[in-house]
Structure 1
Amino acid sequence: MLVLLPPSETKWAGPPRGAAVRLDALSHPDLTAAREQVLDALVEVSARPDAPELLGVGASLGDVVAANTTLRTRPAAPAARVYTGVLYDALDLPNLPAAAARRVLVFSALWGVLRPGDRVPGYRLSMGTSLPGTGPLAAFWKPRLTGALAPAGVVVDCRSATYAAAWTPDADTAARTVGVRVLSGGRVVSHAAKHTRGLVARHLLTRAGRAPRTPGALRDAVREAFPAELREPARRGGAWTLDVEAR
């Protein structure tokens, strides 16, 4: 089983001192050249007067954007601690057992994908951004992640649509992929979706017993803690959908 997560908008800036990021030490080293390209583009853009506009953030976040210019030198921390916010508070990623954390993959506009133990600094960049030299980031990452990712077993997709655009499973993987959709009273919701997805992911990663190996077994595992219904793919070669009642 592999759990796919979006990043958080808010991120911990990192410790006051320590070693900077080493791109060659991150997981999926075949993405190093792509990470270098996006990092260089982000540092350059973040030094411009119009950086907040180009990065799609408000002027009040000018200090956060300016911090992007020090990404190569600022102390790094495990991604499990850098990502914060509603989903990550519910998941409590830093305190997952090591074996469970190895089943987590975080999608990132800057790094492509990260494992929880990968050491990176906090940054500000969305997958919906278009950077000079790279273009729209979802389109930039998609062919690179398609070549780099070959997940085995059931894939639990908790990503938002923006990050889902950066990698779509092939037909074989889609047959084992289940997107988590959060409902309240039969209607899709967004307000409680992050919190519920974090709780679902934590339940799946920490429950006793063997990890589910099929979409049906995944539904049964989620039902141990949440009302849930499994929906067949809407089209041939598509992924399954698990409707979970919001908490």
Structure 2
Amino acid sequence: MLIVLSPAKTLDYESQPKVPARTTPEWIAESEKLVELLKKKTPKQIQTLMGVSDNLAELNHGRYQDWQLPMPEAASRPAVLAFKGDVYLGLQADRLTEKQLQYAQDHLRILSGLYGVLRPLDAMLAYRLEMGTALKTRRGKDLYVFWGTRITQSINEQLAASHSRYLLNLASNEYFRSIQKKSVQAEIIAPVFKDQSNGKYRVISYFAKKARGTMASWVIRNKVKTPAKLVKFAEDGYRYDSESSTESAPVFLRG
């Protein structure tokens, strides 16, 4: 089972984790092309492009001006430990053992607007570039066009290398759109997490994001390979609901 996650806007470049040797992102040459475009933009242009505040525009302008290859080791860190948003609060990658991180290296992929696809131990520099950003390149109007079939190609290659028959989609719709679903050489499983609110079960964004990370961690720690095992997920009070589930969209309820 190969897992895909979204990245996060919140980053952690302060702590000093001990991890196995870092690896290099597969599409780093493509990332460099995007950075060269972004380096030419003013903070105001970045603000308009990304729809962020003045401070965030200045911050990311500086990040792109400083971006370089090869990556300075002191300024980079493994992707799975760099992201600190809701999903990664659930993933708790800093609590994974070295063996579990190595397993994740083969069974987890992080989709990225700048890097395309990241393995957990791929080194990355701090950035912000959401997949839905309408950054025009020679290839077309946005990042979906820029990445084209490359992300799907990477996913299929890793599905084959890890002998995975299932792609566990724990990414957001924005990021999963970067994968051509009809070309994926595996069955796609997309879990749904619902919490009780005012007597009804519904998807609550924060809790659902964290649950995706929690499930990813659980799959890694238990080396889950099939949907039949996936339904046993019962972390943080969630339980599998057979009545509302389908084979491709298992539903987990809490409350």
TM-score range for the pair, normalised by the shorter chain length: 0.7 to 0.9
Distance 1:199 1:149, change over 3 A: closer
Map of 1:3 onto structure 2 = 3
CA distance in 2, matches of 1:27, 1:61: 25
Distance 1:223 1:14, change over 3 A: closer
CA-to-aligned-CA distance 1:145-168 (integer Å, 9 cap, x gap): 122321223221110011011113
1:113 partnered with 2:126: no
Map of 1:49 onto structure 2 = 44
Tell me the secondary structure at the aligned position of residue 50 of structure 1: helix
Q: Name the count of aligned residue pairs.
A: 226
Among 146, 150, 158, which residue is 1:144 paired with? Answer: 150
Contact 1:14 1:121 in 2 (8 A): no
Which residues of structure 1 form unaligned runs of 5+?
17-21, 234-239
Q: Amino acid of the residue matched to residue 152 of structure 2?
A: T
Instruction: Quote the offset at 1:34 in angstroms.
Output: 2.4
Contact 2:10 2:84 in 1 (8 A): yes
Instruction: Quote the offset at 1:212 in angstroms.
Output: 2.5
Instruction: Quote the offset at 1:246 in angstroms.
Output: 4.5
CA distance in 1, matches of 2:123, 2:66: 15
Map of 1:236 onto structure 2 = none
CA-to-aligned-CA distance 1:2-42 (integer Å, 9 cap, x gap): 111100011124689xxxxx9xx6243xx344222222222
Q: Amino acid of the residue matched to residue 136 of structure 2?
A: P
CA distance in 1, matches of 2:225, 2:15: 37
Distance 1:217 1:172, change over 3 A: farther
Q: Which segments of structure 1 move beyond 6 Å, counting only runs of 4 or more?
A: none
Tell me the secondary structure at the aligned position of residue 156 of structure 1: strand
Contact 1:9 1:124 in 2 (8 A): yes
TM-score (ref. length: structure 2): 0.77
Q: Amino acid of the residue matched to residue 193 of structure 1?
A: A
CA distance in 2, matches of 1:206, 1:148: 23
Contact 1:41 1:132 in 2 (8 A): no
Tell me the secondary structure at the aligned position of residue 77 of structure 1: strand
1:154 partnered with 2:178: no
* Aligned sequence identity (%): 24
CA-to-aligned-CA distance 1:83-113 (integer Å, 9 cap, x gap): 1122112211233223332221101000001
Map of 2:191 onto structure 1 = 180
TM-score (ref. length: structure 1): 0.80
Q: Amino acid of the residue matched to residue 206 of structure 1?
A: R
Root mean square deviation of aligned Cα: 2.7
Structure 1 segment 190-209 matched on structure 2, within 5 A: 190-207=205-222
CA-to-aligned-CA distance 1:38-72 (integer Å, 9 cap, x gap): 22222223x35322111221223133222222111
